[in-house]
Chains A and B, each alone.
Chain A
């Protein structure tokens, strides 16, 4: 597998959890005793904890445009805010290669100022120098196509005009990661064309776009991949066509009041969805791949004892006991030193992951699967190997292999991703010597 198969990740989210404590009027949540008294003084009924994100694992790579669909309140905006770094997740972490730029629904920056003053202010806030802001001004005016309205106060703009200006300002700083939270849905058709071109340029430049939009059609047209979020979790992750179609079908049933059909569909998806897991290879590991760090369960303490044991030299087996077992475990089959470049291991050519074959050609096989979500080749992992529900891709994919591997091990795998990980590790290993430099050193720069 050559290098281009596996793009560098731009965003990695690992087990992101967010919870908010909010006031509620729900009588079920009414506090008791002293708490109730303090709540009464504070003028609120009770408080409840909302889990906005319940462990989201997510990887976005260079050149990907990923749509996020989901009902209101499913955590899409929260996720984008966390990716942008506006908020910090309560648990988990988010790694990015470049500083993401978030385009929210509320467009106005300083409503009293004119559009052109807002352009300058926004550019400076993004860290451009005054000269760069001056240069970017023409670009912003051209992209937003506001004409004379650019000199009017931003508070007088329509929501579509505000969104256009905001989008143009964001692109003036040439961001590599753009997070669009419903910001473009108010723009008109001419602007849609222009914004698409601008985003294509960004994607071609190894950027990444995350797009939240309730119109599943937009997602299908624009994105290579889509993610369906539901109640703070990622239900589906796959080719935009299939995921958006499935979401659309579900939403349509909900809208039509066919709650039973929608519930059944959701149940199907939920029962097949398994929490995606990712393993993040730390840069230290990439630079110095001693397998002591490789195992996730390895605790720091154990590592230090193992080192200590090594320093002491050969030890008596009977005396060492547990420690010997551990150090044996740590040593594994690896050579101790990896200073000399080793030739990359060769593997039989693996079939292209179904995930990618689909996503790379989103618009070619159009029509075949549309309107029949059940036939769509969505890759989902079965939680229960015996339960091969309708959403699992039809026979010809690697499901059997995946299920076979599942029986041996508890870690549930998508075989497509599994293969990818083989390649991924090799890929990483090949790059070890190169030691790619940190591209984002100061997130503010």
Chain B
């Protein structure tokens, strides 16, 4: 026994000092993770622009679709709802109501579906490089945000040109904080669904249904307050829907020029900050697993 023990009393298994070595690929502490993420901010932007251009480059019009797409959809909605159905459903300026609903909801919806597939889509980057994986869902949101900006521009022009004309007040500026809140909300949403979608690939099938249900539940095509007048409890529940809050504030500020209920602001802000923190932490907790596909 003694001869196989070296003078230090250790068994003579070949020893190596782990001094200066660290476990590889382990989840960093939250502070380090955030620092690393901040250091990759240029990567996030480059990655989102890469996603954008690789999807547009295949088309002949390229970036032009960023403007044509919303413009054509506004035309389509105007033709069906405004011209054929001639319906305003008791909603003043129904076309504006509809357009705002469709575009603002589309931003969140795309972030949700994009986030669900973010890990799978970024598999080659994950395998090749070591970076905080949260960069992938965040770059999805940034990409959709970049897509969304021309849409907002088109929307503003259309609303300004097509009658009935809006009541333009200072409240137009309130759209900016709403977009900020919605973007934060989308970051949390994308992170949340990125981990869920990685764990459960089946979720992609489910997402389209969830997304549609949410679309109708947020009052994109109709006013929730009117439709759910008979179900006060359901109406109260729907009031807590963050998308409903964002849409209502935007419509109030942009279309009708009236003040929004402070409760809506509170709901919107609470959702945005809450989901961003929860979603990000949830994603961060799974950091070590994303390499396994």
Cα distance, A82 to B13, chains bound together (Å) = 24
Report if A230 contacts B (CB, 8 A).
no
Report if B128 contacts A (CB, 8 A).
yes
CB atoms of A291 and B46 under 8 A apart:
no
Report if B39 contacts A (CB, 8 A).
yes
Chain A stretch 234-271: residues in CB contact (< 8 A) with chain B: none
Q: 1/0 per position for B249-279, CB-CB distance to A under 8 A? A: 0000000000000000000000000000000
Chain B stretch 12-33: residues in CB contact (< 8 A) with chain A: 12-26, 28, 32
- Closest Cβ–Cβ distance, residue A362 to chain B (whole Å): 21
Cα distance, A294 to B26, chains bound together (Å) = 26
CB atoms of A418 and B14 under 8 A apart:
yes
Binds B, one of A84-92, A185-193, A382-390: A84-92
Known contacts A127-B40, A279-B13, A411-B12; is-contact A95 B50 (Cβ 8 Å): no
Chain B stretch 120-145: residues in CB contact (< 8 A) with chain A: 124-132
Cα distance, A122 to B126, chains bound together (Å) = 11
Question: In the complex, which residues of chain A have a beta carbon less than 8 angstroms from the beta carbon of B127?
Answer: 81, 86, 102, 104, 106
For the complex, count residues of A whose C-beta is within 8 A of B.
Answer: 87
CB atoms of A87 and B26 under 8 A apart:
no
CB atoms of B128 and A102 under 8 A apart:
yes
CB atoms of B9 and A294 under 8 A apart:
yes
- Closest Cβ–Cβ distance, residue B111 to chain A (whole Å): 20
Chain B residue at smallest Cβ distance from A181: B127
CB atoms of A88 and B4 under 8 A apart:
no
CB atoms of A122 and B53 under 8 A apart:
no
Q: 1/0 per position for A19-32, CB-CB distance to B under 8 A? A: 00000000000000
Report if A420 contacts B (CB, 8 A).
yes
- Closest Cβ–Cβ distance, residue B118 to chain A (whole Å): 14
Report if A8 contacts B (CB, 8 A).
yes
Report if A397 contacts B (CB, 8 A).
no
CB atoms of A332 and B9 under 8 A apart:
yes
- Closest Cβ–Cβ distance, residue B141 to chain A (whole Å): 18
CB atoms of A436 and B6 under 8 A apart:
no
Chain A stretch 12-66: residues in CB contact (< 8 A) with chain B: 12, 59
Chain A stretch 90-148: residues in CB contact (< 8 A) with chain B: 93-97, 99-104, 106, 108-113, 117, 120-122, 124-127, 129-130
| 5 tightest Cβ-Cβ pairs between the two chains A and B | A85-B25, A112-B54, A86-B291, A444-B36, A95-B21
Cα distance, A405 to B35, chains bound together (Å) = 52
Pick from B39, B46, B292 the residue with the most CB of A within 10 Å: B46
CB atoms of A444 and B125 under 8 A apart:
no
Give 25 pairs: A residue, B residue, CB < 8 Å, sorted on A: A9-B16, A59-B14, A84-B130, A86-B127, A94-B23, A94-B25, A102-B128, A110-B124, A125-B129, A127-B40, A276-B14, A279-B14, A280-B17, A281-B17, A283-B18, A291-B9, A294-B9, A409-B1, A411-B11, A422-B7, A424-B15, A436-B19, A436-B20, A444-B32, A444-B39
Cα distance, A10 to B20, chains bound together (Å) = 9
Cα distance, A282 to B18, chains bound together (Å) = 5
Cα distance, A248 to B1, chains bound together (Å) = 40
